Amino acid sequence: MNGPVFDIAHMLAGGLVLVSMMMLYQDRLYALLNVFALHSLLLTLSVAWQAFVQDAPHLYVTAAIALVFKAIVIPVVLHRMIRQLGIHREIETVVGIGPTMLAGICLVALATVVMLRVTPEADPLAREDLAFALSVLLLGLLIMVTRRNAVSQVVGFMSLENGLVLAATGAKGMPLVVEISVAFSILIAFIVIGVFLFRIRERFDTVDVRALDDFKGRRRK
């Protein structure tokens, strides 16, 4: 494989992992949303580069969807939701930033070791992309698990989906119709999540998911 082709793909996919680690570090909602927009922009560039490398024009559609919806629309809408709901701007975490970052590093190492071991015969570019994609997916799960604020959990879910898109484009196996259906599914899920956030804020005067746990405990009593 041509060296620069591999290096650029490696840099873009690795950049997604780095920005996922940056999301773990954020303790303010606006900063988290800005970093997520950067995450989606890097996904756009990575998918567009894969479209060029694979000579797959339909991947440019995937890149355009990621740019419009994930890098622009979703962050802007979430910014407005935070202002309208009057949400507390600081993010409460289940554990401290230090242990969370350490767990993130361990997950990246685990994803790299596992993926490179189980795909020894695969194309080198696909192997690297799949390893990075699994890292992004696991880091997205970690964001969801370690954040108490519902908005930050939404961002974790969206970054997890970015990892799935990276894996699908790197594996050279996702047709255009599937990409479009996944994009619309994510958009619908985002709308449902938005309604869910408004209902939580209206009912509990907060978007901290601990309020739901407390409510369930009172109902059981």
* Tokens of residue 146, six digits: 């370690």
Strand partners, 149: 208
What is the distance between the alpha carbons of residues 50 and 64, in angstroms, rounded to a whole number?
Answer: 13
Residues 141-194 pLDDT 10s: 898 888 877 778 788 888 888 888 888 887 665 555 455 555 555 665 665 565
Query: Do residues 161 and 136 touch, judged by C-beta distance below 8 A?
Result: no
What is the distance between the alpha carbons of residues 24 and 87, in angstroms, rounded to a whole number?
Answer: 20
What is the distance between the alpha carbons of residues 116 and 118, in angstroms, rounded to a whole number?
Answer: 6
- Which of 13-27, 75-89, 115-129, 149-163 reaches the highest mean pLDDT? 13-27
Residues 87-102 pLDDT 10s: 666 777 778 888 889 9
CB atoms within 10 A of CB 202: 9
Residue bearing the bigger pLDDT, 48 or 84 = 48
Overall pTM surpassing 0.85 (yes/no): no
